Amino acid sequence: MLLSEIYDDITIDDAPYFSAMYGPARHAIVVSDLEGVKERLVEFDDCPEDVYIIEGDVDAFDDSLFEVEEFEGAVCVQVSEQQLRYSRFPTVPLFGRAAREQRLEALREKRDQLVEDHAKAAFDAQKAQRLYQAFNDFVANHVAVAFEDNPEHAIGELRSERNKVLASLNEVEGKEAEFKQAITKAKQALSLLDKLAPSIDLIEDETLAERADEAKARVDELIQSKVNLDRHLATADKLRPIVSALAADPEQFDAIEQEYKEVDEALQSLKSQSFALSNVYERKAHFGYADSEKLLEKSSELSEQLKAKLVVAEQQKERAREGYKQAQQQHSQYNQLLATLKSSHQAKTETVQEFKQELSSAGILLDDAILERATTRKQELHQGIETSRSRQAELSKTVTATELELKSGTKALKKQQKEYQELRRFVVTAKAGWCAVLNWRVNTTLSVACTSVSWRICLRESFALCRINLWVHCVLRWRMKKTCVMRCVRQRIMLIQSARYYSISLCISSCVSVSVRISSAPMIRLKQSRRWK
């Protein structure tokens, strides 16, 4: 059995101590008896250079056979009387299962890190290789550009042409603005003409109608022009670059077309000749070798130029690399921004879903017609608000009119109360006179019929006055807030007033007749007595 298997269950803290204590013998083989081991060792063909064998009990191994003295970070072992072994604690102990597992875990992490680094390095190498290949392709494809003519002259010509086109465009836009102003003025003129239409008969100018017709025709033309302009705006935009060509005389179109055909044929012939010349020029090397010596002389200059261009290309490569790094950084930033936007979009989507669920739980149906229903409901509410406002205005007017009528009724009531008090005093006076008449009746011989009639008249008058008093008090308590009540009060007061005046007149006439009879009774008696005498 191996010694490491016996110490397989030691802790990580004890592993350096035991590893240093056994030293090279930490991989020894433990046997119960050393007899016969030497003969078997000779039979080993494939074995390490040093094989350690220790005699001991496998089940109860005792390590006290060693004289060990522990130092700080090391041990000193007395191997024999003449030998000492000084061993330091190993940095990475491998004695014991726990130490081996820890070492294996560290090696696995290191291996994973190495694999990751290798993958990154391989990716970077592939990327660099692709960049190098792209750069080589770029140099191979565009190295001829360095020997071409300077394009600034062509750019300047194109810029001048663009400026001309922009100037013509601005001119067209100015004309369009003038047309719009003319249309606006025409609309204003139309509105003025509409206002003057009722007073056409009063205008003596006979040419006004003709001018109005001309203005209308002009307005129609402008409107038609605007319609045509709006309709053919895209075509006009396309025709703007060839305004100069369209400005040519149409009658000369055939001549221009003929010239174009002739020029085109000449151009085709020149192209064919140029192609033939270029083909011959490319094969010039096959016809004569005198120029090869000149090419050899110029090869050094060409190589210098190519070296200079290579330096420039290297600088461009560095700039492109820096630009690529910046683009990578921007790409990472944009990825972060995209992640943030996605999270915010997801949160807002969840919020919208929650709102939809709440609306669905509330009984609100979410469909395409919800906007139309909401608009219809909004219009209905606006109409209801307008109706209620108009009703409120009418009611406020009615309240104002009622308050005015109430004030006038209060004034009339006060006037009637004043008249009632005066009539009350008059009736009281009449009643007092009637009481005097009754007292006189006791001492006189008036008829019972006259007394009963006058008594009924006075009772009716008193009842009428009592009714007036009660009615007036009721009206005062109610305050007469409605117009119909005021009208009823007025009619009732007029009726009572007429009845009151009639009753009062009857009462006065009765009282006068009674008083006349009373005053004339002694005279009648005196005459009768004198007659009888």
CB atoms within 10 A of CB 307: 10
Give the pLDDT of residue 310. 84
CA distances from 275 to 141, 225, 271 (A): 22, 52, 6
Phi, psi of 75 (to 5 degrees): -135, 155
The predicted-structure confidence for 7-32, as pLDDT tens digits, reads as follows: 666 777 777 777 777 777 776 777 77
Phi, psi of 66 (to 5 degrees): -95, 140
Helices vs strands, H then E, count in the chain: 14, 5
36 pLDDT more than 90: no
Give the pLDDT of residue 202. 59
Give the pLDDT of residue 294. 60
Report residue 488 CA to chain centroid gap. 64
372 pLDDT more than 50: yes
CATH number 3.30.70.3500 given to 3-95: yes
The predicted-structure confidence for 165-184, as pLDDT tens digits, reads as follows: 999 999 999 999 999 999 99
The predicted-structure confidence for 275-331, as pLDDT tens digits, reads as follows: 887 777 776 655 555 555 565 566 667 677 778 888 888 888 888 888 888 888 888
Helix (H) or strand (E) holding 367: none
- The residue written with tokens 């005198």 in the block is 290
218: amino acid identity, one letter: R
Q: Which of 189-193, 251-255, 325-329 has the lowest mean pLDDT?
A: 251-255
Contact 427, 461 (CB under 8 A): yes
Phi, psi of 53 (to 5 degrees): -125, 130
DSSP 13: T
pTM of the complete model beyond 0.85? no
Q: Which of 22, 4, 23, 2 is nearest to 100 (CA)?
A: 4
Instruction: Report how far residue 139's alpha carbon sits from residue 404's, in angstroms, rounded to the nearest whole number.
Output: 103
- The residue written with tokens 């119909």 in the block is 484
Q: Where are the beta strands (DSSP E) in 170-253?
A: none
The predicted-structure confidence for 509-527, as pLDDT tens digits, reads as follows: 444 444 444 444 444 333 3
Give the pLDDT of residue 283. 67
Report residue 334 CA to chain centroid gap. 23
Give the pLDDT of residue 326. 87
129 pLDDT more than 90: yes
Pairing outcome for strands 84-88 and 29-31: unpaired
- The residue written with tokens 């990716």 in the block is 123
Exposure string of 411-436, with b = 16+ CB inside 10 Å and e = fewer, is: eebeebeeebeebeeebeebeeebee
Pairing outcome for strands 74-78 and 84-88: antiparallel
